[in-house]
Structure 1
């Protein structure tokens, strides 16, 4: 199992090598042994969907692992991951951003966040639309949140075999990213720094990298189907 995990990781890293794109291993439902094998293969970025699972696993694994919260996050769960989470990918409201700031302050930390955009043609995905993004970024309270840093955007494409549609959705996220990055360049918001685009999963990570993703979230292509 361990050698297989290592081989799969190496294969994906070779594919991503031409792009400036980081591999995040999606470790939800995976065993501690599988996570240890992932770490041994050189991956430090682990993505979890469920807060409880991340909190259970984190103390059992090496301290230099960077934990990414990639699933929908409820405000009442923020306090459990605030002491150690490396990056929260799924911020979809100003209310959640305020809660992250509050818990980060308690832990004497600044927590990097991505704003989750709704780019899919499906009803099941969370995220902000373009207008909601603008409203959040123009909220006068934003600059007072000293313990968060918005570092980019995250999005999930539609679950479809239609590559052209997925590509269009990725391009729309990249365009929004470039737009806000340009718009906000001259503005002095100390807690906003446009660096990351998190898009692409096991089925479409290579396409995402080609379309400008800086981090892909891959699970089944590393570990096999659940």
Structure 2
């Protein structure tokens, strides 16, 4: 199937999931996960109307951004090392994966050097899996309070990655918990902090995520296919 066809099907599925949960389709945005995919696949999706692309690796992101030029909106969605932050300063619209204060401080420093503010999401490891990044639910509020004090970082919401399940229903409690945590953070009334975005849901479970309040779904294989695009 073509990227154009896949994109149309994904948007139809997103709209139906939103309708099912009493939400408007325009309340949910698609982040096209383009890691390992070549620049021509991204350009193809962009020509079909997809604007936001998510990358997991700094070197891959910088190389693709250099090839593709302006117009594409980049999100960084992978685990981010503090010593790589400088390379993407000012390049990305949103970082989904802030999970520690040391990383947030380096983002603040690098964006401060260019006189800009970086929008971020706080990643929460709800499943407590050792293989996944993210702050704990117990430490979330403290981390939010610390990050909120940084002048060049702006918290826009939360992100999580549930364990893998063959049945997407298995992920539902994790998505529901992120929605609950967002409410808890919002209720704390921390100045400058918004819980506008919930980044959750991937190719196998994004419809369930939308039903539980996702505003950003990170979809790769359902759009580009499992194999590298040719």
Shift, 1:61, TM fit: 1.3
Q: Secondary structure at the match of 2:162?
A: coil
User: Do residues 130 (structure 1) and 128 (structure 2) align?
Assistant: no
Q: Secondary structure at the match of 2:95?
A: strand
Query: Residue in 2 aligned with 1:196?
Result: 197
User: Do residues 32 (structure 1) and 39 (structure 2) align?
Assistant: yes
1:53–1:213 distance in 2 versus 1, CA, 3 Å: same
Q: Secondary structure at the match of 1:138?
A: helix
Paired residues in the alignment total 218
Structure 2 residues not aligned, in runs of 5+? 19-24
Shift, 1:15, TM fit: 1.6
- Once the two structures are overlaid, the 10-residue window that deviates more, 157-166 or 216-225, is 157-166
1:62–1:43 distance in 2 versus 1, CA, 3 Å: farther
Q: Following superposition of structure 1 onto structure 2, how do residues 1-226 of structure 1 map, counting pairs within 5 Å?
A: 4-17=2-15, 18=18, 19=25, 20-120=27-127, 122-139=129-146, 142-143=148-149, 145-184=150-189, 187=190, 189-190=191-192, 192-226=193-227
Structure 1 residues not aligned, in runs of 5+? none
> Do the aligned residues in 2 keep the contact of 1:121 with 1:158 (CA within 8 Å)?
no
Distance in 2 (CA, whole Å) between partners of 1:211 and 1:142 is 26
- Please tell me the root mean square deviation across aligned C-alpha atoms, in Å: 1.4
> Moved runs in structure 1, 4+ residues, more than 4 A?
none
Shift, 1:162, TM fit: 4.0
Shift, 1:121, TM fit: 5.5
**TM-score, normalised to structure 2's length?**
0.90
Shift, 1:72, TM fit: 0.1
> For each residue in 1:22-64, what CA deviation from the matched residue of structure 2 results, as whole angstroms up to 9, or x when unmatched?
0010001111110111101101100000000000000211412
- Once the two structures are overlaid, the 10-residue window that deviates more, 155-164 or 49-58, is 155-164
> Do the aligned residues in 1 keep the contact of 2:168 with 2:204 (CA within 8 Å)?
no
